[in-house]
Amino acid sequence: MKKGFLIDMDGVVYRSNRLVPGAADFIRTLLKQDIPFLFLTNNSQRTRRDVATKVNRLGIPVGEEHIYTCAMATARFLAQHQEKGTAFVIGEGGLLNALHANGYSIVDKSPDYVVVGEGRTLTFEMLEQAVQMVADGAKLIATNLDPNCPTDRGIRPGCGAIVSLIEAATGIKAFGIGKPNPVMMRFARKELGMSTSETIMIGDTMETDILGGVQMGYRTMLVLTGSTKREDLVNYAYQPDVVLESIADLCSDQRLTQEISTVRNREDDTPHDLQEWIKSHC
């Protein structure tokens, strides 16, 4: 039996630039055992190399091949739909770079797409241009629809909040590519090189990580080091397969046994198989 992990970053391996205790050890175990994994982020601001450098500085020794961003998924999706297209971009390096790498040109007149990502350079003039372009027929794309993002001080407006303004002004809904959209979840699995039943999604947010994994039929593991508390779970119609206090619990036999006893059976994958696999690799 093979397994591979898609791992959300903020709230799972770090929080506000501080490593989650035990997270680096878990990643080192994956590297040592040659277990495929990808960090999955809904932040389109940085390139995969920038993200790898940030993670390296926190003490997790991964290369850029271990990073998959919603900017990469967005650019790939657009290139599949329209080759060598044009885009007006509200966003930063990660998104611009991914679009260029996929054959797109960045323009400020008559684009095929208006693409909205994360960034700190937003002006009213850019929004006005974007609104006009969408009204004139450009397709509206968001790298993700997260309404807000965690910061040291609380939250800041996310890509979903920015794109809402253009949606309200034009009456046209954006298509959001990042988690939980199956477009990104599937691209990431293909990049990981695993089948659906071999893929495990680990995340801290029910609306993105866990919903994305559930929709695709991946095994899902919710960690409580980020945005979700155990008592929040009753509010959701879908549930993760496993709930862990922290990603570090994946390497704790006792805690894992306790949690995994509640995992539901599947035709292709029983809880016992999952536990035996994790035990033999951690």
Q: For residues 219 and 256, what is the distance between their CA atoms, to the nearest angstrom?
A: 15
User: Which residue sits closest to Mg ion, CB atoms considered?
Assistant: 11
Rounded to 5, what percent of the chain is helix, strand, coil? 45, 20, 35
Of 2-10, 66-74, 124-132, 212-220, which segment contacts Mg ion by CB under 5 A?
Answer: 2-10
Of 11-19, 68-76, 115-123, 245-253, which segment contacts Mg ion by CB under 5 A?
Answer: 11-19
Distance spanning both ends of the chain, measured CA to CA:
15
How, if at all, do strands 242-244 and 219-223 pair?
Answer: parallel
Which residue lies nearer to Mg ion by CB, 177 or 210? Answer: 210
Which residue lies nearer to Mg ion by CB, 20 or 133? Answer: 20
Q: Does 118 bind Mg ion (CB under 5 A)?
A: no
Least distance from Mg ion to the Cβ atom of residue 256, Å: 21
Residues 6+ apart with CB under 8 A from 239: 210, 233
Among 3, 7, 11, 250, binds Mg ion (CB under 5 A): 11
Least distance from Mg ion to the Cβ atom of residue 80, Å: 27
Of 3-11, 115-123, 140-148, 213-221, which segment contacts Mg ion by CB under 5 A?
Answer: 3-11
* Residue among 158, 167, 213, 166 at smallest CA distance from 43: 158
Q: How many separate helices (H) and strands (E) can be counted in the chain?
A: 10, 15
Least distance from Mg ion to the Cβ atom of residue 133, Å: 31
Q: Per the residue annotation, which of 8, 112, 209, 241 is the catalytic one?
A: 8
Note if 108 is an active site residue: no
Q: Which of residues 185-204 bind Mg ion (CB under 5 A)?
A: 204
Residue 80 vs residues 73, 74, 89, 143: alpha-carbon distances, Å: 11, 10, 18, 15
Note if 10 is an active site residue: yes
Q: Does 8 bind Mg ion (CB under 5 A)?
A: yes
Least distance from Mg ion to the Cβ atom of residue 30, Å: 18
Q: How many residues bind Mg ion (CB under 5 A)?
A: 6
Q: How many CB atoms lie within 10 A of CB 273?
A: 15
Q: For residues 110 and 27, what is the distance between their CA atoms, to the nearest angstrom?
A: 45
Amino acid code (one letter) for 118: E
Q: Which of residues 216-275 bind Mg ion (CB under 5 A)?
A: 226
Q: What angle do CA 20, 26, 30 make, to 5 degrees?
A: 145
Least distance from Mg ion to the Cβ atom of residue 260, Å: 22
Q: Does 10 bind Mg ion (CB under 5 A)?
A: yes
Residues that are catalytic: 8, 10
Which residues of this protein are in contact with Mg ion, per CB under 5 A? 8, 10-11, 204-205, 226
